[in-house]
Amino acid sequence: MKRLCASLLVGSIALAAFCSTAVAETIKVGVIATFSGPNAIWGKQFQEAIQVYVAQHGKEVAGNTVEFVYKDVGGPNPDASKAAAQELLIREGVKYLAGFDFTPNALAVAPLITQAKVPAVIFNSATSAINKQSEFFVRTSFTLWQVTVPAAHWAASNGAKKIVTAVSDYNPGVDAENAFVSAFEEKGGTVVEKIRMPLQTTDFAPFLQRIKSSGADTVFAFLPAGPATFAFTKAYNENGLKQAGINFIGTGETDESTLDALGDQAIGLTTAQHYSAVHDSELNKAFRAKHAEMFPKSTLNPASVGAYDGVHLIYKLIEAAGTDGSEAIEAAKGLSWESPRGPVSIDPASRHVIQNVYIRRVERDGSRLVNREFDVIESVPDLGFSR
């Protein structure tokens, strides 16, 4: 009898131990991004920001362990993105997807996340139409309409009369062109010419010469951050546009990852963006300090804060809904928090972040160049979602 009781006791303890451990689980988050090739800066910025957030907040959420699984798609490659998502969903069993640097890569996974009911948090891809393709998309970055309309209004209010637009010829570039043109003309400005440049362009001199001879007083540019933005901004100076009195306004063309390499020729360039690495807040100072401690040879940029806030959102969704994707999406709607960029919230209609847009000018700050915020348009939604 004693032996039977002892066996039952041991069995009860084992069952209790099993039940207590079964409640907690490892929740995998699949991160799809570019970690190799000329656009590898995206994956690098995403991964560093994720690691900073985890270092500050831990990897345990509501008793669960969060694990990040990274997949490299090598650049704008929708087929690779779809294959990566399939592998993450089926083989790895991820309950959340994240990342997405290029619009085609995000669009490619829309049918998969809808079928699997797995939320996908967009860290960068900036075309407004993405979130319309699946109710399981949520975005913590920005859209081109969101930053470009304020840029156009600011330009029109600060002396710009005749504009040339010069954009990379893919979905976000067309989005930026449409947004700027409509907003600038709405304010009474004239668009002299609309130039679309092939995405893989490396020689921008012919395009800059067209701009120089157009009669415009300002050029609005949009190119994906990385080698293209560096080459275009460099060519703007080398072809004498600044000396010819043609002002420059863009969005991410003075990205912090290439800003110091541009040198003093970048001083005075104006951009509209949702974040600057030198944004003046205590939360951003803490973000910057921890990032500098962990990655002293790197820098923060808008992709960094998109990923940092994306992880924050995923943690909040896990707290609210665990691994139930439909419940997680409902929990995201209307969620608000203080970000290193300032106050943000998720628009219940578009599932896109509402945030401040800052007008920034490149300045020298000691030994480094920075995007200094000098004006702000508060609480801007995705102005392209309903179009």
Structure confidence at residue 296 as a pLDDT band (50, 70, 90): very high
The predicted-structure confidence for 309-347, as pLDDT tens digits, reads as follows: 999 999 999 999 999 999 999 999 999 999 999 999 999
Three-state secondary structure of 331-350: HHCCCEEEECCEEEEECCCC
- Residue 277: C-alpha distances to residues 121, 167, 214, 299 (Å): 22, 24, 34, 8
> Considering the entire predicted model, what is its pTM?
0.89
Q: Cα 227–229–233 angle (5° rounding)? A: 120
Is the separation of the CB atoms in 142 and 252 below 8 Å? Answer: no
Cross-strand pairs, 361: 270, 372
Mean pLDDT of 104-113: 97
**Dist. CA 364–CA 269, nearest whole Å:** 12
Every domain of the chain with CATH number 3.40.50.2300 lies at 25-142+280-351, 145-273+358-380
Give the β-pairing of 120-122 and 137-139.
parallel
Instruction: Tell me the CATH number of domain 25-142+280-351, given options 3.30.70.980, 3.40.50.2300, 3.40.640.10, 3.40.190.10.
Output: 3.40.50.2300
Q: What one-character DSSP code corresponds to residue 352?
A: B
**Dist. CA 108–CA 106, nearest whole Å:** 5
Structure confidence at residue 167 as a pLDDT band (50, 70, 90): very high
| pLDDT for the residue 172 | 83
User: In CATH, what class is 145-273+358-380?
Assistant: alpha beta
Structure confidence at residue 120 as a pLDDT band (50, 70, 90): very high
The predicted-structure confidence for 170-201, as pLDDT tens digits, reads as follows: 888 898 999 999 999 999 999 999 999 998 88
Closest CA to 88 of 24, 26, 31: 31
Residue 183 dihedral angles phi and psi, to the nearest 5°? -70, -40
Q: What percent of the chain has pLDDT over 70?
A: 94
Structure confidence at residue 23 as a pLDDT band (50, 70, 90): low
The predicted-structure confidence for 59-74, as pLDDT tens digits, reads as follows: 999 999 999 999 999 9
| pLDDT for the residue 202 | 84
Residue 196 dihedral angles phi and psi, to the nearest 5°? -115, 125
**Dist. CA 192–CA 216, nearest whole Å:** 7
